[in-house]
């Protein structure tokens, strides 16, 4: 049989022999050993090419290879790049309400943003951008107001910086000698951080406000009604909190933390319930509105009811004081003004609202009264309007009941109003000219509003919400309406809100039958007194560093150490007056009004 022609395999071929070592045998048994792999046949050499002729150069196409700096961790660098939107945004932003989210710790968040900014600068070789104050530029806590203009669809978006840079190779230029005369030259630095980064770290910054997300005190409030149209919590100028629980009214002293039951309105066979509470501006006089339409005036210092006034046919859900004038709003759709100093207390009745009046707030500076009703209308009245008079302004922008009303103490004629579950918006009004200044969709029912006394901020409490987060307390910065913080803890809608006399602490109440105390606002700034101010202090004012008698919340009661009797008179809470306070009390404690009532009888 003929043997076929085969091409000889170049190179030596090694076969196992008797003299082969163990290592050589193992190498031959390895399937991946090159000696075991079949070799490709040699490519035939061209006839016209000599063995010593040089090989032809191979030309490659352009390949864009990213240039990377030495020592760059690409995984870390990639995480530093800003995230783009998950979906392309076109035209105006979404109209869907933004649900308030929980806010992380401000100091940790600011430190993380500073570290990220510096790491970007050190990694990519760019100068670090100055970090502004955290509250004013926190994108996760902002709310879009309707007056902010939207960007047009054709506006180009800012290009996102690229992770990889592509460039053609260029010849390096002549090296320049470094300017070693500058004391800020990197050669003289004792740290590897750039000078610009050091400047950013060492620059003075506004300290971040420490804001606790946990209430520092929680009180049980059994039978606290879960009714949107009631106002059952109020804080007096003498640091006493009044709470209506069913048919009873309790007083809690922030000075001593003592709890006292003031009155039980339920009589044998005549049950009645507390529906609204309001302290007089200065003193110990408390007005109590009931479900039967009666208004009771109490002197809490001596624990005695001064008088009872009729005038409404149904429950009194809201009331407010303007000096000695008491205004009440009822379910019978009327507003009644009374002068509590006079025997004939009646002043006027206003019948303009078509449904229950659920919000009343006086602006003592401008002499205006704001009233909100279940008819979704907000009315502004001029001073104590006579009967059958028309309001100054009628606002019909809200689409739900208006209970939350608050006048700004920092700007005359600025009113904030909040709508119910079908509206969910906070609106700001100029009641001097009747213009709508701004509105913001909070995403949940607005139950109450309060302005800070010490800063241009306000707090809102919320209830029903279609989103997962509800029953929260929100702090806002005005006029930017940046959300400073969100306080959560209530399991029912937060219907009641009151503020301490010093303006630092707020108390919230809900249908979960709890009262929660929060330190929400900063302290009032103190300024050094001039010579004229020192003279006025000597005549009865408070001097810086002088003797003060303060309460639990830091609210000064008196500033004169020689007025021990006045101090006891103004801070005593109980049902009977002590024997050493039998005489007339100091002005502003409610004793003068009590004497007038005694003369009328």
> 427 in a domain, yes or no?
yes
Helix axes 195-202, 106-124, angle to 10 degrees: 170
- Is 589 within a domain? no
CB atoms within 10 A of CB 284: 28
Q: Which among 326, 402, 398, 406 has a CA at the least distance from the CA of 359?
A: 402
Specify the DSSP element, H or E, that contains 429: strand 425-430
Say if residues 441 and 425 touch (Cβ distance below 8 Å).
Answer: yes
pLDDT attached to residue 164 = 55
For the chain, the 3-state helix, strand and coil shares in percent, each to the nearest 5, are 15, 30, 60
437: Cβ contacts below 8 Å, ≥ 6 apart: 147, 414, 428, 429, 430, 479
For residue 3, give every residue at least 6 positions away whose Cβ sits within 8 Å of its Cβ, in sequence order, or none. none
CA distance 96 to 562: 60
Task: Report pLDDT digits (tens) over 26-62.
Answer: 454 555 555 555 555 555 555 555 555 556 666 656 6
- The residue with tokens 């609204």 is 276
Q: Is residue 237 part of a domain?
A: no
Q: Is residue 461 domain-resident?
A: yes
Beginning with the edge strand found earlier in the chain, give each strand of the sheet holding 285-290 in spatial order: 274-279, 285-290, 295-299, 304-309
Total residues found in the chain within this entry = 601
Q: For 406-468, what is the HEC assignment?
A: EECCCCCCEEEEEECCCCCEEEEEECCCCEEEEEEECCCCEEEEEECCCCCEEEEEECCCCCC
Task: Give the residue from 6, 553, 506, 518 showing the smallest Cα distance to 233.
Answer: 506
pLDDT given for residue 248 in this prediction = 96
Higher pLDDT, 488 or 556: 488
Report d(CA 585, CA 422) in Å as an integer: 49
Residue with tokens 């809200």: 398
Specify the higher pLDDT residue, 377 or 32.
Answer: 377
pLDDT at 129: 64
Using CB atoms within 10 A of its CB, is residue 306 exposed (0-12), middle (13-18) or buried (19+)? buried
Is 253 contained in some domain? no
Question: Which domain covers residue 496, as residue numbers?
Answer: 211-228+401-525
Residues 203-256: tens digit of each pLDDT: 887 777 778 899 999 999 999 999 999 999 999 999 999 999 999 999 999 999
Angstrom distance (rounded) from CA 495 to CA 596: 36
Question: Strand, coil or helix: what is 61?
Answer: coil
d(CA 420, CA 403): 8
Domain assignment present for residue 412? The answer is yes
Residue 17 lies in a domain: no
Q: How many helical (H) and strand (E) elements, i.e. helices and strands, does the chain have?
A: 7, 30
Q: What is the CATH number of the domain that holds 444?
A: 2.130.10.10
* Interval 120-146: pLDDT, tens: 888 776 666 655 443 333 333 444 455
Q: Compute and round to an integer the Cα radius of gyration of the chain.
A: 39
Whole-number mean pLDDT of the chain? 75
- The answer to whether residue 148 scores a pLDDT higher than 70 is no
Distances (CA, A) of 462 to 284, 395, 469, 592: 30, 22, 10, 39
Number of structural domains the chain divides into: 1
Residue 494 maps to a domain: yes
Q: Around Cβ 100, how many Cβ atoms within 10 Å?
A: 24
CB-CB neighbours of 416 under 10 Å: 25
């Amino acid at each position: 049989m003929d043997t076929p022609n085969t091409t000889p395999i170049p190179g030596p071929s090694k076969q196992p022999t008797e003299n082969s070592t163990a290592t050589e045998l193992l190498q031959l048994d390895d399937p991946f050993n090159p000696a075991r792999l079949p070799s490709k046949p040699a490519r035939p050499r061209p006839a016209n090419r000599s063995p010593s002729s040089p090989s032809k150069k191979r030309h490659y196409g352009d390949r864009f290879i990213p240039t990377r700096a030495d020592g760059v961790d690409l995984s870390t660098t990639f995480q530093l790049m800003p995230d783009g939107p998950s979906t392309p945004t076109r035209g105006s932003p979404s109209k869907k309400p933004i649900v308030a989210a929980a806010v992380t710790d401000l100091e940790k968040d600011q430190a993380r943003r500073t570290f990220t900014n510096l790491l970007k600068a050190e990694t990519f070789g760019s100068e670090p951008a100055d970090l502004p104050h955290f509250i004013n530029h926190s994108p996760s806590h902002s709310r879009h107001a309707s007056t902010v203009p939207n960007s047009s669809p054709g506006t180009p978006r800012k290009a996102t910086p690229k992770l990889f840079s592509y460039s053609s190779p260029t010849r390096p230029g002549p090296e320049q000698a470094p300017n070693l005369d500058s004391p800020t030259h990197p050669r003289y630095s004792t740290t590897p951080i750039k000078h610009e980064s050091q400047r950013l770290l060492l620059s003075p910054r506004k300290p971040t406000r420490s804001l606790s997300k946990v209430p520092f005190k929680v009180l049980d409030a059994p039978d606290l009604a879960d009714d949107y149209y009631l106002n059952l919590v109020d804080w007096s100028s003498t640091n006493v909190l009044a709470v209506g629980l069913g048919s009873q009214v309790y007083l809690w002293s922030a000075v001593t933390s003592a709890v006292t039951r003031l009155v039980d309105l339920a009589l044998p066979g005549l049950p009645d319930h507390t529906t609204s509470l309001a302290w007089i501006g200065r003193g110990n006089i408390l007005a109590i509105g009931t479900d039967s339409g009666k208004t009771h005036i109490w002197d809490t210092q001596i624990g005695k009811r001064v008088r009872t006034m009729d005038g409404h046919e149904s429950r009194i859900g809201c009331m407010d004081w303007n000096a000695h004038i008491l205004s009440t709003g009822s379910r019978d759709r009327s507003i009644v003004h009374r002068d509590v100093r006079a025997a004939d207390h009646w002043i006027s009745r206003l019948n303009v609202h078509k449904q229950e009046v659920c919000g009343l707030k006086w602006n003592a500076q401008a002499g205006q009264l704001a009233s909100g009703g279940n008819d979704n209308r907000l009315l502004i009245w001029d001073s104590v309007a006579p009967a059958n008079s028309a309001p100054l302004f009628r606002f019909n922008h809200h689409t739900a009941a208006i209970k939350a009303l608050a006048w700004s103490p920092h700007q005359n004629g600025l009113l904030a109003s909040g709508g119910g579950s079908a509206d969910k918006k906070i609106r700001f009004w100029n009641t001097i000219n009747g213009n709508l200044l701004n509105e913001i969709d909070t995403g949940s029912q607005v139950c109450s509003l309060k302005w800070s006394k010490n800063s241009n901020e306000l707090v809102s409490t919320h209830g029903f919400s279609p989103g997962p987060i509800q029953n929260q307390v929100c702090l806002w910065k005005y006029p930017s309406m940046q959300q400073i913080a969100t306080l959560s803890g209530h399991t029912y809608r937060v219907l009641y809100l009151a503020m301490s006399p010093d303006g630092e602490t707020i108390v919230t109440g809900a249908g979960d039958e709890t009262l929660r105390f929060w330190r929400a606002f900063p302290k009032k700034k103190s300024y050094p007194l001039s010579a004229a101010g020192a003279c006025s202090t000597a005549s009865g004012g408070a001097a810086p560093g002088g003797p003060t008698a303060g309460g639990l919340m830091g609210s000064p009661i008196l500033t004169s150490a020689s007025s021990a009797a006045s101090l006891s008179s103004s801070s005593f809470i109980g049902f009977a007056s002590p024997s050493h306070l039998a005489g007339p009390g100091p002005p502003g404690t409610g004793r003068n009004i009590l004497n007038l009532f005694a003369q009328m009888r």
